[in-house]
């Protein structure tokens, strides 16, 4: 079999952990497999580099940011290859460029366009373990390093598994799989044996960072067989796969939260066609992804308030655009709320059960938690609340939908 193994930050956090990765890779090779390893930077390293950048410049250039951030994964890819060599196996470390990972030129959140992977193909044929630096690519012209957005090594792994037509993509992390909610917040959370791509996608896009959203999107699109498991033990992990009948029996399979968004409101926007189009076109042109949107008639009945949420990292640019649009339209100005969190419940069973949203609202109400925004999809309900209630809300919903162990 050809197996892609991705090791996250905590799994390569220090020399001991890197040696443990090398051992696991060696075992996988001994079992008769070809292995491509994808590594993240050491735990905390990417944050540290971002912090350094902001110490020299409050708004650092994005091209240089990518050059800086890509270094973390280069360090671990080289060290991991060396550790595998030390065990007597052939290993070669490749950067994103050397792997032929070609992206667009949207720095800090580039999209993969294609993977050539020639060197990797050849190296595998020659009996090497290929160790790829995650999270990075190179622009079409081959001139600039790009990065794939936070958590992007997951995407590197899935994209390589797809490009090389691997039999399995294993995501090794610091938890034993995908749980009914973040086990670091709710210790009673239960590990799922299997989860559908669809549910995993909703959980990831709702903030469950165990898999990066785009990596799940890609896995779902191309049916890449994916398993999430721990690099600290040999327990089986969670399979992410196509939905089946069994899965529909459960109404809700998981609860997720996201504290990485801000809410921006433009007050008293004239109530006429074309306004929302104008605002959100400009935001989209700036490559900012808007999550929730709510529009409400304001008290004077002549105008509306438009609220929307964006990732915290895009706050400055989004506010700038909102302020510009507000003054162009003669609206009432812009207000920003930093103290928000989004809590979501996800489950394919929602398609066939009613009253799920009502139960979520009731549960939040019972705990005195006010809802600021709501959005739903066929298999998800999300509420924006004050962020000081995040943990309380997650625990309460986990309990209300009977997701606990046992
Ligand atoms: P890595 O560095 O290996 O990529 P991440 O920190 O990105 O690891 O993702 C793993 C973390 O995801 C866990 O430590 C856990 O806190 C968090 N997490 C959030 N929601 C879930 C969930 N539903 N199941 C498992 N882990 C989750
Ligand atoms: N090191 C990058 C990050 O921290 C990518 C990753 O770990 O997947 O976001
Ligand atoms: Mg991650």
Exposure class string for 336-367: b at 16+ Cβ within 10 A, else e? ebeebbbbbbbbbbbeeeeebeebbeebbeee
Q: How far is the CA of 100 from the centre of ligand 2 (A)?
A: 19
Between 270 and 95, the higher pLDDT residue: 95
302 to each of 316, 319, 400, how far by Cα in Å? 29, 24, 41
* CATH number for 88: 3.40.1160.10
Place of tokens 């327990």: 235
Quote the pLDDT of residue 248. Answer: 65
The total domain count for the chain is: 1
Contacts 24+ apart (CB under 8 A), 354-359: 356/251, 356/252, 356/381, 357/381, 359/400, 359/401
Q: Give 16-25 pLDDT, tens digit per residue.
A: 999 999 999 9
* Residue 154 included in any domain: yes
Q: Using a 6 Å CB cutoff, which residues line ligand 2?
A: 8-9, 40-41, 46, 72, 134-135, 150-154
Burial annotation 266-294 (CB, 10 A radius, 16+ → b, else e): bbbbeeeeebeeebbebbeeeebebbbeb
Is residue 189 domain-resident? no
Let me know if residue 45 belongs to a domain.
yes
Range of the domain at 27: 2-174
Q: Which of 9, 49, 209 to mutate to test the pocket of ligand 2 (most atoms within 8 A of CB)?
A: 9
H-helix or E-strand spanning residue 114? strand 112-115
Decide if 36 is inside a domain. yes
Pair 258, 346: CB distance under 8 Å: no
Which residue blocks in 109-238 are alpha helix, DSSP H? 118-125, 153-163, 197-205, 213-222
Q: What is the pLDDT of residue 297?
A: 77
Whose alpha carbon is nearest atom 4 of ligand 2?
46
Residue 255 alpha carbon, nearest atom of ligand 1: 23
Would you say residue 157 lies in a domain?
A: yes
Name the residue at shortest CA distance from atom 9 of ligand 1: 210
**8 Cα nearest atom in ligand 2:** 7
Which residue's C-alpha comes closest to atom 10 of ligand 1?
210
For 151-175, the pLDDT digits (tens) are 999 999 999 999 999 999 999 999 9
Give per-residue pLDDT as tens, 36-64: 999 999 999 999 999 999 999 999 999 99
Query: What is the CA(13)–ligand 3 centre distance, in A?
Result: 13
Contact indicator for 130, 36 with CB cutoff of 8 Å: yes
The binding-site residues of ligand 1, defined as CB within 6 angstroms of any ligand atom, are 8-11, 40, 151, 173-175, 178-179, 181-184, 208-210, 254
329 near 293, Cβ under 8 Å? Answer: no
Tokens of 193: 């044996």
Residue 37 maps to a domain: yes
Q: Which residue is associated with the tokens 């139960």?
A: 359
Is residue 11 a part of any domain in this protein?
Answer: yes
pLDDT given for residue 19 in this prediction: 98
- 179 pLDDT above the threshold of 90: yes
Q: Evaluate whether residue 186 is within a structural domain.
A: no
């Amino acid at each position: 079999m050809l197996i892609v193994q991705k090791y996250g930050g905590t799994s390569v956090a220090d020399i001991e952990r890197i040696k443990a990765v090398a051992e696991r890779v060696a075992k996988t090779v001994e079992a008769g497999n070809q292995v491509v390893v994808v590594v993240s930077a050491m735990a905390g390293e990417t944050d540290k580099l971002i912090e350094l950048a902001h110490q020299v410049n409050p708004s650092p250039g994005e091209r240089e940011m990518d050059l800086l951030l890509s270094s973390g994964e280069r360090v671990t890819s080289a060290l991991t290859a060396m550790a595998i060599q030390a065990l007597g196996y052939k290993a070669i470390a490749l950067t994103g460029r050397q792997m032929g990972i070609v992206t667009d030129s949207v720095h800090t959140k580039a999209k993969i366009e294609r993977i050539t992977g020639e060197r990797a193909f050849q190296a595998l044929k020659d009996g090497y373990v290929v160790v790829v630096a995650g999270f990075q690519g190179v622009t079409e012209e081959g001139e600039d390093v790009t990065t794939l957005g936070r958590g992007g090594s997951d995407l590197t792994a899935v994209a390589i598994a797809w490009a090389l037509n691997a039999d399995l993509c294993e995501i090794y992390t610091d938890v034993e799989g995908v749980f009914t909610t973040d086990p670091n917040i709710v210790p009673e959370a239960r590990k799922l044996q299997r989860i559908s791509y669809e549910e995993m996608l909703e959980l990831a896009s709702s903030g469950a960072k165990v898999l990066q959203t785009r990596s799940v999107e890609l896995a779902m699109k191309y049916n890449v067989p994916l398993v999430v498991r721990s690099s600290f033990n040999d327990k089986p992990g969670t399979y992410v796969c196509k939905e089946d009948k069994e899965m529909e029996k459960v109404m809700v399979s998981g609860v997720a939260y996201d504290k990485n968004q801000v809410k921006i409101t433009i007050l008293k926007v004239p109530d006429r066609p074309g306004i929302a189009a104008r605002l959100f076109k400009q935001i989209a042109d700036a490559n900012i992804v808007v999550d929730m949107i709510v529009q409400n008639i304001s008290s004077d009945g002549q105008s509306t308030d438009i609220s929307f949420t964006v990732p915290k990292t895009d706050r400055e640019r989004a506010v700038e655009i909102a302020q510009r649009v507000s003054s162009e339209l003669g609206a009432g100005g812009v207000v920003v709320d930093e103290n928000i969190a989004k809590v979501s419940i996800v489950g394919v069973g929602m398609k066939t059960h009613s009253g799920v949203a009502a139960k979520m609202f009731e549960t939040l109400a019972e705990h005195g938690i006010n809802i600021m925004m709501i959005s739903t999809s066929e298999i998800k309900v999300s509420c924006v609340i004050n962020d000081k209630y995040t943990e309380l809300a997650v625990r309460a919903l986990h309990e209300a939908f009977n997701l606990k162990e046992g």
